[in-house]
Amino acid sequence: MSTPQLPSGPRITPVQTFRFIRDVTRFFVDCRERYGDPFTAPLPVGNVVITGNPEGIRDIFSADPATFEPLGQLPLAPAVGDNSLLLMGGQRHKRERKLLMPPFHGERMRAYGQLMQELTLRAVETLRPGGPFRAQELTQSISLEVIIRAVFGIEEPERVRRYREVLAGYMEAYTPLLMMAVPLRRSFGGMGPWARFQRYVTELDQLLTEDLTTRRGHEAGHTDILSLLLTARDEDGQPMTDAELKDELRTLLIAGHETTAIGMAWALYHLHRIPETKQRLLEELAPLGPVPDPEALAKLPYLTAVCDESLRLHPIVAVVGRRTVAPFTLRGRELPPGTALMAAIALAHVDPATYPEPERFRPERFLERKYSPFEYLPFGGGARRCIGAAFAQYEMRIVLGTLLAVHRFSLASDTPERPVRRNVTIGPGGGVGMVYEGPRQGALA
């Protein structure tokens, strides 16, 4: 019996690797136009079969989870740890996901709404009327404190500051080069980028160990995520180990603030670049008063559409990967065990067959029709969909709604923002330069 052939695609060259790292969406669109969908791309993790077609994505997300194992351990493992949910497969992934899900949904999630708004209002107090700032720095400051307070229940300013410093250094040190080039993950006598990153790994591990030790045995009466995880038990009555807890907490801290912050920064950019879009949102916000109730903000349809469109046009993560452990059929094509697969979020979100004028920021499209989870998938899908998706979307609506209802901003420049890969995530290259114009009339009066 002959081995099934992989779909055609470009050859492995340094140029193709650079194009993938530099502008993944353009690279995928060019490959689809030349080779069709699916196609095989030579990526840093090897040859990968890629689809952005809703039918292909449905094939992947609807398959038995036992058909796959995680893909991407090499780029992700140093950042999130070997015990991260992102790198698990099989029954262990199912067990861990069940333990982690409850704090990010329903009433437990909505309990953080007031905190999100308070931290947003406090962050803007640091801005000077007429002064410049970068939107991504503002939104990252807000989302980082939200996740620190939500995960750990920490209120001491010095402890929050310490987490801020370590996480900022941690993310800056884990560069795209370290993520993609495994041979560079070596310490040269305590010098070099890998040694620098490892120092931040040690500092973060020390912070997590201290908080685990302090909180263990004192979970009662606390509603933060760490306390809930310390009391969580699986079907066999077993708790998570310290190693599992620390890697999951590290994953939540890293994935839980930068991704949300980038989505909000892009939304602020487009709202202030398109006056009629911002005006429609302001008209929706106006009846809610000068400082809207967080729950009311979370239910606004146009605000929700603005957040959805931001994540469509600028997905924070371009792909979600799997590796087959059994024969698998993708769009009628049989693929052998061991095949690396990617559902290309970035490609699906700019498919003109699904989204007319795909490169245009137009929130109205989400009010005009519903998109299937195989057409719109900013948080992945299937059994491995991001557990924090509802939390992130909730936070985006409350923070953006509060910022626009209470304060006035403008763009600092007409220069277009371009997406740039930072590490695992892709964000605005210039951070979205803005000017704070002051509070809206009547707000905070």
Q: Which of 8-12, 19-23, 153-157, 300-304 has the lowest mean pLDDT?
A: 19-23
- Which contiguous run of DSSP H or E holds residue 235? none
Banded model confidence at residue 445, pLDDT cuts 50, 70, 90: very low
| pLDDT at residue 346 is higher than 90 | yes
How many angstroms separate the CA atoms of 88 and 71, rounded?
Answer: 10
Residue 314: C-alpha distances to residues 83, 146, 360 (Å): 29, 22, 11
| pLDDT at residue 90 is higher than 70 | no
Banded model confidence at residue 235, pLDDT cuts 50, 70, 90: confident
- Tell me if 74 sits within 8 A of 240, measured CB to CB: no
How many angstroms separate the CA atoms of 306 and 367, rounded?
Answer: 10
| pLDDT at residue 399 is higher than 90 | yes
Is residue 320 classed as helix, strand or coil in its secondary structure? strand
The confidence score (pLDDT) of residue 179 equals 66
Average pLDDT value for the chain = 86
Average pLDDT (377-406) is 90
Residue 40: C-alpha distances to residues 4, 8, 28, 50 (Å): 13, 6, 10, 6
Average pLDDT (311-326) is 90
| CA nearest to 281, candidates 300, 298, 296, 263 | 300
| CA nearest to 103, candidates 154, 152, 143, 156 | 152
How many angstroms separate the CA atoms of 265 and 159, rounded?
Answer: 26
The confidence score (pLDDT) of residue 261 equals 93
The confidence score (pLDDT) of residue 389 equals 86
Task: Give the torsion through C-alpha atoms of 130, 132, 134, 137, to 10 deg.
Answer: -80
Q: Provide the residue count of the chain.
A: 445
Residues 170-216 have pLDDT tens digits of 888 777 666 666 666 777 766 778 788 889 889 988 998 998 888 88
Q: Which of 120-134, 243-257, 264-278, 407-421 has the lowest mean pLDDT?
A: 243-257
- Tell me if 399 sits within 8 A of 142, measured CB to CB: yes
Q: Which of 28-37, 200-209, 294-303, 324-333 has the lowest mean pLDDT?
A: 200-209
How many angstroms separate the CA atoms of 395 and 161, rounded?
Answer: 21
Q: In CATH, which superfamily holds the domain spanning 14-439?
A: Cytochrome P450 (1.10.630.10)
The confidence score (pLDDT) of residue 405 equals 97
How many angstroms separate the CA atoms of 40 and 43, rounded?
Answer: 9
How many angstroms separate the CA atoms of 65 and 213, rounded?
Answer: 35
| pLDDT at residue 443 is higher than 60 | no
Per the annotation, where are the binding residues for heme?
386
- Tell me if 335 sits within 8 A of 6, measured CB to CB: yes
Per-residue 3-state assignment (H helix, E strand, C coil) for 110-167: HCCHHHHHHHHHHHHCCCCCCCEEEHHHHHHHHHHHHHHHHHHCCCCHHHHHHHHHHH
| CA nearest to 369, candidates 311, 429, 305, 420 | 305
**Bigger pLDDT: 132 vs 188:** 132
Per the annotation, where are the binding residues?
386
The confidence score (pLDDT) of residue 220 equals 67
Q: Look up residue 323 and give its DSSP letter.
A: E
Share of the chain above pLDDT 90, in %: 49
- Tell me if 64 sits within 8 A of 89, measured CB to CB: no
Residues 258-305 have pLDDT tens digits of 889 999 999 999 999 999 999 999 999 999 999 999 999 999 999 999
| pLDDT at residue 74 is higher than 60 | no
Residue 410: C-alpha distances to residues 161, 194, 260, 289 (Å): 29, 39, 21, 22
Q: Look up residue 105 and give its DSSP letter.
A: S
Rounded CA Rg of the chain = 22
Residues 95-116 have pLDDT tens digits of 767 777 766 777 777 888 999 9
Is residue 18 classed as helix, strand or coil in its secondary structure? helix
Q: Which of 46-50, 185-189, 324-328, 379-383 has the lowest mean pLDDT?
A: 185-189
Residue 330: C-alpha distances to residues 57, 64, 324, 378 (Å): 9, 13, 11, 21
| CA nearest to 174, candidates 204, 151, 146, 208 | 204
